[in-house]
Amino acid sequence: MKRNNGAAPGSPGDAIYIALTRGAVALMVLLGVGIVLSLTLNAWPSIRETGARFLVSAAWNPVTHDYGALSSISGTIASTLIAMVIAVPLSLVIAFFLVELAHPLVARPVSYAVELLAAIPSIIYGMWGLFVFAPFMADHVQPALGQILGFLPLFSGPPMGIGVLTSGIILSLMVLPFITAVMRDVFSMVPGVVKEAAFGMGSTTLETAWKVTVQYGFSGLVGAVFLGLGRAVGETMAVTFVIGNAHRLSPSLFAPGNTIASTLANEFTEASEPLYLSALIELGLVLFVMTLIIQVLAQLWIDRARKKAGGGL
Amino acid sequence: MNALRPRPSTGRRMADQSVRILAVGASLLGIFFLAWILLEVSRRGIGAVNWDFFFAPPAPPGFAPAGLSAPIVGTLLMTGLSVLIGVPVGVLSGVFLSEVARGTRLAAGVRFCINVLMGVPSIIMGLFVYTILVLPLGQFSGFAGAVSLAVIMLPVVARTTDDMLTLVPNALRESALALGAPRWRVTFDVVLRAAKTGMITGVVLAIARVSGETAPLLFTSLNSVYMPTSLAEPTSNLTVTIFNYAMSPYADWQQMAWGASLLITVSVLGVTIFARTAFRERTK
């Protein structure tokens, strides 16, 4: 540490400078701690009232004050899973395309376009999802899926357009740019020598990518997936528009459902009873804990990849 | 067993080819969805944009003239205030990490905390600000809305500052210190100036991102149909107005929601593209 190695030791400006930056960082840390404390404190009446039942009960009745988070949690998990199942393979091949296949003149605009997908605000995805994509799903995609896979409970039920499946697909579009960007960086961190060695052994581009690049950058790729997961779990407006907001458990992905975030967005301003409000805040606390775990895992995996590559990323 | 064959076998070549085609297809799919969204927003939104759209206040369904003057002003006010709160605190935190506590365990811990905060969903930030500002004061307010946007912006700005200042070569700091400059002058006159373009880009991107946020405002600023006169009361804003109008059964409100969507999309994407291209040309 080079403390006070400036030529003006004890300069009053420096004291203020250090105090100000310390204050700002303290504020930042306070923000993190404050979120945990304030949410827990305000969720406490509901935690005391419902206990562990909150997490496993599917009931949600503001009139009788019977609150359970199960339908919101399962909807969050279902829509996030769909998003990841679609977005992870797509991101992987797009990153592969950008780094290994495309000429820089092609790769640059393509990666720019993918990044712009991330810049579109959530509510725009919601508008497009509700008025354009959901009708498209109802008219074309869901009837076809129902015909081919209708024997599975997952794809049974009337094609309404709005529902868990549509939300999952829109979520996948929204997290795609984040996952692709990290995967692209991970791919381009792999030293050329390693790849050239594989090519020299007579590997095809695919084999080099799969057996060398992916293995080499594995921890970074896992980090990228967690990063996308964290985004998908907390995404609010787009999901609120298209998921249908029904507090019920249904095996069908065509059925309307809800997520933690969509429940909050829909019901928060209607919550007049203190216990109702507290239950909603507890729901938020559950979401916060979920994203916290995901974020910590993402950071740990990405850090591991970064250390291995010696900086970059 | 194929080690001595000069070329990959047909099966391996076909696998390679099909994944190449898949990769091109996936990239085209991404571009296709981007184009689809942008086209639909433009096609449906352009009809709502006229003089009244910008200069008339919101009206009940079926009434003319109807516009979005109040939400536009409210969004600008809240975004502006959030920048005034979020940017200085964020920049100072980044300066702390990169200049004051560089290489310490404290900095590593705070950096981890900032990365985690960046991943906290915006709706949770809104909920948090609700519990600390709206609940105790008993009043939804534009001020709370601005704070929630600032809180979302904070970790992003801090991280950008930290990243950009780390790129500044140490020789610059050392030569300034050797000339007898106090540390605060080194930071503000030399290091920050050297990292200026990158910092501005990062900050502008963060502003673009929060200006399109909806979820945190639902719990903090709420919405209003009146021109904002004070940020101490519920404040009109574009994104919550889109939400309310889109969920309404009235055709003219839905049309207005598309107009507002077009406005938000054009401004956010416009600012994003501008920030990036301006930066790219400078660094060449």
CB contact under 8 A, B124 and A234: yes
Q: What is the mean pLDDT of chain A?
A: 90
Q: Which residues of A151-175 are buried (b: 16+ CB within 10 A; e: fewer)?
A: eeebbbbebbbbbbbbbbbbbbbbb
Q: How far apart are CA B66 and CA A31, in angstroms?
A: 40
**Is a pLDDT exceeding 60 seen at residue A290?**
yes
The three-class DSSP label of residue B71 is helix
Q: What is the ipTM of this complex?
A: 0.93
Neighbouring CB atoms inside 10 A of B252's CB total 17
Q: How far apart are CA A269 and CA B222, in angstroms?
A: 9
Burial zone of B64 (CB within 10 Å; 0-12 exposed, 13-18 middle, 19+ buried): exposed
For A42, name the nearest residue in chain B, comparing CA atoms only. B131
pLDDT tens digits for range A132-184? 999 999 999 999 998 899 888 889 888 889 999 999 999 999 999 999 999 99
**Is a pLDDT exceeding 60 seen at residue A9?**
no
Say what the pLDDT of residue B5 is.
Answer: 58
CB contact under 8 A, A287 and B121: yes
CB contact under 8 A, A28 and B117: yes
CB contact under 8 A, B177 and A7: yes
CB contact under 8 A, A234 and B120: yes
- Which pLDDT band, with edges at 50, 70 and 90, does B2 fall under? low
pLDDT tens digits for range A189-228? 888 898 999 999 888 999 999 989 999 889 989 999 999 9
Q: How many CA atoms lie within 13 A of A82 on its CB side?
A: 21
Say what the pLDDT of residue A7 is.
Answer: 43
CB contact under 8 A, A124 and B265: yes
Q: How far apart are CA A40 and CA A33, in angstroms?
A: 11
- Which pLDDT band, with edges at 50, 70 and 90, does A306 fall under? confident
Say what the pLDDT of residue A156 is.
Answer: 85
Q: What is the mean pLDDT of chain B?
A: 92
Say what the pLDDT of residue B218 is.
Answer: 94
The three-class DSSP label of residue A60 is strand
Say what the pLDDT of residue A189 is.
Answer: 87
* Annotated domain spans of chain A: 74-259+292-309
The encoded tokens of residue A27 equal 């504020």
- Which pLDDT band, with edges at 50, 70 and 90, does A62 fall under? confident
- Which pLDDT band, with edges at 50, 70 and 90, does B10 fall under? confident
Which domains are present in chain B?
70-247 (1.10.3720.10)
Q: What is the mean pLDDT of residues B271-275?
A: 92
The encoded tokens of residue A65 equal 């004050």
Chain A residues near residue B29 by CB distance under 8 angstroms: 90
Among A212, A265, A178, A102, which Cα is nearest to B213's?
Answer: A265
pLDDT tens digits for range A222-264? 999 999 999 999 999 999 999 998 888 888 899 999 999 999 9
**Is a pLDDT exceeding 70 seen at residue A16?**
yes
For residue A29, which phi and psi values (nearest 5 degrees)? Answer: -65, -40
The encoded tokens of residue B193 equal 């100036």
**Is a pLDDT exceeding 70 seen at residue A8?**
no
Say what the pLDDT of residue A118 is.
Answer: 93
User: B55 to chain A, minimum CA–CA distance in Å?
Assistant: 23
Helices (H), B9-58: 10-45, 51-55
User: A219 to chain B, minimum CA–CA distance in Å?
Assistant: 17
pLDDT tens digits for range B158-185? 999 999 999 999 999 999 999 999 999 9
Say what the pLDDT of residue A307 is.
Answer: 79
Cα–Cα distance list, A16 to B87, B176, B182, B186, B223 (Å): 18, 19, 12, 14, 40
* Fold exhibited by the domain A74-259+292-309: MetI-like fold (1.10.3720)
For residue A66, which phi and psi values (nearest 5 degrees)? Answer: -115, 105
**Is a pLDDT exceeding 50 seen at residue A4?**
no
Chain B residues near residue A298 by CB distance under 8 angstroms: 119
The encoded tokens of residue B192 equal 């920050």
Q: How many CB pairs under 8 A join A and B?
A: 274
Q: Using a pLDDT cut of 90, give the percent of chain B over it.
A: 88
- Which pLDDT band, with edges at 50, 70 and 90, does B96 fall under? very high
For A7, name the nearest residue in chain B, comparing CA atoms only. B180
**Is a pLDDT exceeding 80 seen at residue B92?**
yes
Say what the pLDDT of residue A30 is.
Answer: 96
**Is a pLDDT exceeding 50 seen at residue A5?**
no
Chain B residues near residue A18 by CB distance under 8 angstroms: 100, 183
Cis peptide bond upstream of B65, omega within 30:
yes
**Is a pLDDT exceeding 60 seen at residue A6?**
no
